[in-house]
Amino acid sequence: MNDVQPRRSPITPTVDFSAKGIQHGFLRLPHSRDDSAWGSVMIPITVIKNGEGPTALLTGGNHGDEYEGPIALFDLARTVRTADVSGRIIIVPAMNYPAFLAGTRTSPIDKGNLNRSFPGRADGTVTQKIADYFQRELLPLADIALDFHSGGKTLDFLPFCAAHVLSDKAQEARSFDLVEAFSAPYSMKMLEIDSIGMYDTAAEEMGKVFITTELGGGGTATAKSTGIAKRGTRNVLVKAGILNGVADVAQTQWLDMPDGDCFCFAEEAGLIEPLFDLGDVVKRGQAVARIHPVGRAGQAPAEISARMNGVLCARHFPGLVKAGDCVAVFAVTV
């Protein structure tokens, strides 16, 4: 029989999204495997609902080795007071929970990169099923969505909150307003290398006000970067009128990634020697890193040159690079 209706998600929430008060529960995703025949992936979720107001969907751990989001969101879930909320906050601190538990960007179950898996599939892999649940169940509940990222094990970023340039200028303006409210040290008009399959794109195509971050990297978090994440989360909720309180606003420097020239990719493998650090200003044509061949001594390094004038806002983190690695990203100050 041909099933023309979309199959129902196999994920069962243990929380009631329409109930008043605070609930800590799970998105339970059946996952039959060697060590648990009728087992499940249990993705933690918190829902806080009180009075009238918009819904914010807050997510971290879309990539499993990025930590500012999970830290800020587990903290918010534990400390938020229902009486301070007008509307609803849905918190999923670690979206790709199997990847988060493994400390890896992608899922150890199916190698799925959640942020390249949208819109997902209800009858797909574990990662595709998570994407499908956000696409069809959680995003439709939201007015605004904040999805935390950092560089993970292989990139490091200047700390910024970001939104994308959109064809709907009203939606774009509302998104940039929330970026400004987040109050990270930097605010980015962000360009993606390839936006297909991203959660960002799914939310934006649904007309949601969507903001994201890159708050550091290297597969860890710092006191400074977690402070930015916690403060930014509360600032966004206050700005949206969902959380009582006064925003803790700080100065932010706006940056723009105007076109593909902002990305520099390695064309050979080797040992990378940075010639500039994050936040440094470079000129077009200037060498920003050297890649030393490691097969034998006495070989000249290849040079990576900036393709635009700008601020170094991201860099490859590990000391060894492979051909095709993104080694540097530049942006211009606005």
Binding site for Zn ion (CB under 5 A): 63, 66, 149
- For the bound state, the minimum distance from the C-beta of residue 249 to Zn ion, rounded and expressed in Å, comes to 26
Whether residue 37 contacts residue 184, with contact meaning beta carbons closer than 8 Å, is answered with: no
Query: What dihedral do alpha carbons 262, 267, 271, 272 form, nearest 10°?
Result: -10
Whether residue 64 contacts residue 119, with contact meaning beta carbons closer than 8 Å, is answered with: no
Nearer to Zn ion, 55 or 59 (CB): 59
- The span from the CA of 163 to the CA of 189, in Å, is 6
Q: Where are the alpha helices (DSSP H) in 135-242?
A: 169-182, 199-205, 223-239
In this structure, the chain runs to a length of: 334
Nearer to Zn ion, 63 or 164 (CB): 63
What distance lies between CA 279 and its chain's CA centroid?
21
Question: What would the two tokens of residue 207 be?
Answer: 């007309």
Please name every residue paired with 212 in a beta bridge, in sequence order, or none if there are none: 147, 162
- For the bound state, the minimum distance from the C-beta of residue 273 to Zn ion, rounded and expressed in Å, comes to 26
Nearer to Zn ion, 95 or 288 (CB): 95
- The span from the CA of 110 to the CA of 131, in Å, is 13
- For the bound state, the minimum distance from the C-beta of residue 150 to Zn ion, rounded and expressed in Å, comes to 7
- For the bound state, the minimum distance from the C-beta of residue 288 to Zn ion, rounded and expressed in Å, comes to 23
Nearer to Zn ion, 44 or 69 (CB): 69
Nearer to Zn ion, 47 or 314 (CB): 314
Nearer to Zn ion, 180 or 200 (CB): 200
- For the bound state, the minimum distance from the C-beta of residue 70 to Zn ion, rounded and expressed in Å, comes to 12
- For the bound state, the minimum distance from the C-beta of residue 17 to Zn ion, rounded and expressed in Å, comes to 26
302-305 sheet: strands from edge to edge: 302-305, 287-292, 270-274, 320-321
